[in-house]
Structure 1
Amino acid sequence: MGKMPLIDGNIDLRFTQNEITGAIGDSVTVLPLVVAVAILTDLSLTMMLLWFGIFQIVWGLYYGVPISVEPMKALAALILAGTITTEEFLLAGLLLGGILIVMGKTGTLARVGEYIGNPVVRGIQLGVGLVLLETGLQLSAGDVQLAVIAAGVAVGIIALGYWNLTAIIVLLFGGIVAGYQVGFSMPTSPDFSGLFLVSGASLNFSTLEATAIQLAMTVGNAALAASVLLYDYFDRNISADDLSHSMGVMNLTAIPFGALPMCHGSGGIAGKYAFGARTAGANIFLGIGYVLVALLGAGLVAAYPLAMLGVILVLIAAQLGKTSIQKAQNYPLVIGIGAIGVLINLGAAFVLGTLAYLIFQRYKRV
């Protein structure tokens, strides 16, 4: 039988090289996406990374495994594409926080998962990737020369066999370019703005639509799939309802104070494991790392080249698309949902995809 979540003083914490590399495995998509949100919205990189750092440590110690804390990617894609405002983005995160707590407490998450099947989750994931791809190409077109340089770096890293590190290496390269353009100097004061932005939000259709879209990905990828991986990798019996509850607590606690909506993604768990993490020591390392970047590296964000940021979004989009196709169980439906997501919008993709999935399931039973 797997081990249950715990805080009992017997947590296995190791601070080895493998835990450090495992921490990097979880950060490779988090940092680029958070930097993109910081550059293109009113949210503060300092505050977002502080909360990521805090919850990496909190949930690592609570669950006793290298669990992930990631941005809610569907919501991030919507705000980066300009589909929703910052206030709507944050309010959707709060709504999800409340929904996830209720689902976790009542044990209804698995039942919801029966209606939002694998093809819908993977289709929405593909649609999010395509939306990020479109946004990335638009940003890259602003300075083709810089975009080509960044793409060249990415191709070189991929050729060396380090696909998983490509986005974060291009991110660091862009930081060097930004530092060269504005001059390397002592770190500027951290930016603690971005508090209480959600107070100006009003509930509207765009917010509800964004909430539903993200819920599909959260149920499938950040709860059900994450629960399975934690058992497979670490023999820890953490239910999807447990994860749902902790995601709800995390968002209701932090979003009013400058955080962006967060979740426990299966991709981050797989990244930690693949890069060597076996204990919550990886979470301690990563939490401290996020806090240091928040306090010392925020000054470069304002100067970060948007064209290079566009290449990073293209790389994240490619990874999302690759994962969605590899794990798809119904290719035509997944591709159709993804296409609707980018050609119309992700809300239509979610509704039409869910209806198509339910009709298909009923047809199979006949």
Structure 2
Amino acid sequence: MGLTDVHTGRSLRFDAGEAAGALGDSVTVLPLVVALGALTPISVGTALLWFGVFQLLWGLLYGLPLSVEPMKALVGLAIAGTITAGELVAAGLAAGVVLVVAARFRVLGRVQSLVGEAAIRGVQLAVALLLATTGVELAAGDPTLAAVSVGLVALAAAAGRARLSSLLVLGAGVLVAVAAVGGVSPSLPPLAAVPVTPTATLGAAEATLGQLAMTAGNAAVATSLLCSDLFDADVPPDRLAGSMGVMCLTAVPFGGLPMCHGSGGLAGKHAFGARTGGANVLLGVCYLAAACVAGVVVAFPTAFLGVLLLLVAWHLARAAARSDRLFLVCAVGVVGLLTNVGAAFLVGAVADRLLDRALSA
């Protein structure tokens, strides 16, 4: 089943591949949202509501299975307690303003023209390594459930339905979560203006700068390249920056999280079978439903998600390996793993430029 998106002319499909692929994005979202809801005043239900809204919107406007993920640097700092929920809100709003301005003046397009492909591939590898690390940590939290999920993935592969493995694992996880909470009790998520007061501090400013460096490399430039690699689609990084800015400035004041278009989520959707914006529409509906049963989401076994994160990481790492400067790609990836993706992007950009000069001398 499918239809044609009037904005892009791309056909939107709603088949098993799109459904399975849609959930490839959720494995990078749910662990962070659940952890944030448990450790801060942020509402899981409200956060999922906004993820649902923007999955629907971008699926229709882009016609591609673009990811909608939390800004990992900011959310990770909030989960670790390095910044408060108020500083997270302030940083998200600041990032939104910068991204909208950058899109207006086509700043990231200029960045893309100056940065070599190896640096961008290195950012993709860094994200893959970070996802793999998180996946191992989540799976190690409950080895028994992790083994069960590995078995389900193997079962799907043996049946020749590897792309449906995410549906199988997440379906089993939902059953475990429902059993854990003793049933489903739907309720509307809270939606109030500025539920957490923004706190503008030096820490919030530093977090914003770190996130913007990561966003430029991973969520704009690397995602633009991945759209070309996987879908033969020309999506300029400045267009991505504009939509990310819109998400932050719209959702954050009403209880949502700072959001971006990460290359990891896009790779995850493609890995599990998504090829059109239909995946976003399906996932958007699922998120809106999940927002009304947030108690079940919080109880979801993260060991299951950990195994799927490893699959997503492998798919993204394979995309990163498409480079004739694989040593530089690996070096940038390791820098990103040991420091942060923003630093890796800057190091890779400089190293790639110096290598170009050395080869042309």
Q: Could you state the TM-score of these two structures normalised by the residue count of structure 2?
A: 0.79
Q: In structure 2, what is the Cα distance between the partners aligned to 1:150 and 1:322?
A: 22
Deviations 1:291-349 (A, max 9, x none): 22322x32212322243333333333333323322x33421111111122223443443
For 1:157-190, what per-residue CA distance to the aligned partner results, in whole angstroms no more than 9, with x for missing partners?
233344444344323222212222332x232424
1:219 and 2:220 aligned:
yes
CA contact (8 A) 2:21 2:163 kept: no
How do 1:294-333 residues align onto structure 2 when only pairs under 5 Å count? 294-295=291-292, 297-325=293-321, 327-333=322-328
**Residue 243 (structure 2) aligns with:** 246
Partner of 1:143: 142
> Residues of 2 paired with 1:158 and 1:83: CA distance?
40
Question: Counterpart of 2:14 in 1: which secondary structure?
Answer: helix
| Structure 2 gap ranges (5+) | none
Correspondent of 1:70 among 53, 68, 71? 68
Q: Tell me the equivalent position of 1:33.
A: 28
Tell me the equivalent position of 1:189.
187
**For residues 74 and 159 of structure 2, what CA distance do their matches in structure 1 show?**
30
Letter in 2 for 1:45: V
1:154-303 alignment to 2 at 5 Å?
A: 154-183=153-182, 185-192=183-190, 196-197=195-196, 199-200=198-199, 202-204=201-203, 205-223=206-224, 225-226=226-227, 232=232, 239-264=236-261, 268=266, 271=269, 275=273, 283-295=280-292, 297-303=293-299
Question: Aligned in 2, Cα 1:165/1:257: closer, same or farther, shift over 3 Å?
Answer: farther
**AA matched with 2:350:** L
Whole-Å separation in 2 of the counterparts to 1:319 and 1:358: 27
The answer to whether structure 1 residue 358 and structure 2 residue 357 are counterparts is no
AA partner of residue 294 (structure 2): A
The yes-or-no answer on 1:24 pairing with 2:19 is yes
User: Which residues of 2 match residues 90-101 of structure 1 at below 5 A?
Assistant: 91-101=90-100
Does the aligned pair in 1 maintain the 2:68–2:262 contact within 8 Å?
yes
Q: 1:335 aligns to what?
A: 330
1:346 aligns with 2:341: yes
- Count of equivalent residues: 348
Describe the SS at the equivalent of 1:189.
Answer: coil
Q: Relative to 1, partners in 2 of residues 1:120 and 1:13: Cα closer, same or farther, differing over 3 Å?
A: closer
Further displaced range: 336-345 or 80-89: 80-89
- The amino acid across from 2:334 in the alignment is A
Contact kept, 8 Å, 1:84 with 1:207, in 2: the verdict is no
Matched letter for residue 248 of structure 1: G
Decide which moves more: 119-128 or 53-62: 53-62
Gaps of 5+ in 1: none
Sort the Cα spacing of 1:345 and 1:221 in 2 relative to 1 into closer, same or farther, 3 A.
closer
1:50-69 → structure 2 map (5 Å cutoff) = 50-62=49-61, 65-66=63-64, 68-69=66-67
Indicate how the Cα distance of structure 1 residues 239 and 116 shifts in structure 2: closer, same or farther if over 3 A, else same: closer
CA offsets, 1:100-140, max 9 Å, x none?
22222112322111333322222122222222322332233
Q: 1:202 to 1:252 in 2, by over 3 A?
A: same
| CA displacement, residues 207-236 of structure 1 (integer Å, 9 cap, x when unaligned) | 422321222112323345537877x46xxx
Cα distance change, pair 158–220 in 1 and its aligned pair in 2 (3 A): farther
Secondary structure at 1:199 match in 2: coil
Kept in 2: contact 1:25–1:268 (CA 8 A): no
- Whole-Å Cα distance in 1 between the matches of residues 16 and 249 of structure 2? 30
Change beyond 3 A, Cα 1:12–1:349: closer
Q: Read off the aligned partner of 1:319 and give its amino acid letter.
A: H
The code of the aligned residue for 1:253 comes to T
Query: 1:74: how far off?
Result: 4.8
Taking only aligned residues, the RMSD between alpha carbons, in angstroms, comes to 3.7
Structure 1 residues 29 and 254, CA gap change in structure 2 (3 angstroms): same
What is the CA–CA distance in structure 2 between the aligned matches of 1:129 and 1:333, rounded to whole Å?
A: 15
Q: Secondary structure at the match of 2:29?
A: helix
Quote the sequence identity (%). Answer: 33
| Partner Cα separation in structure 2 for residue 80 and residue 155 of structure 1 | 35
CA shift, 1:198, in A, is 6.7
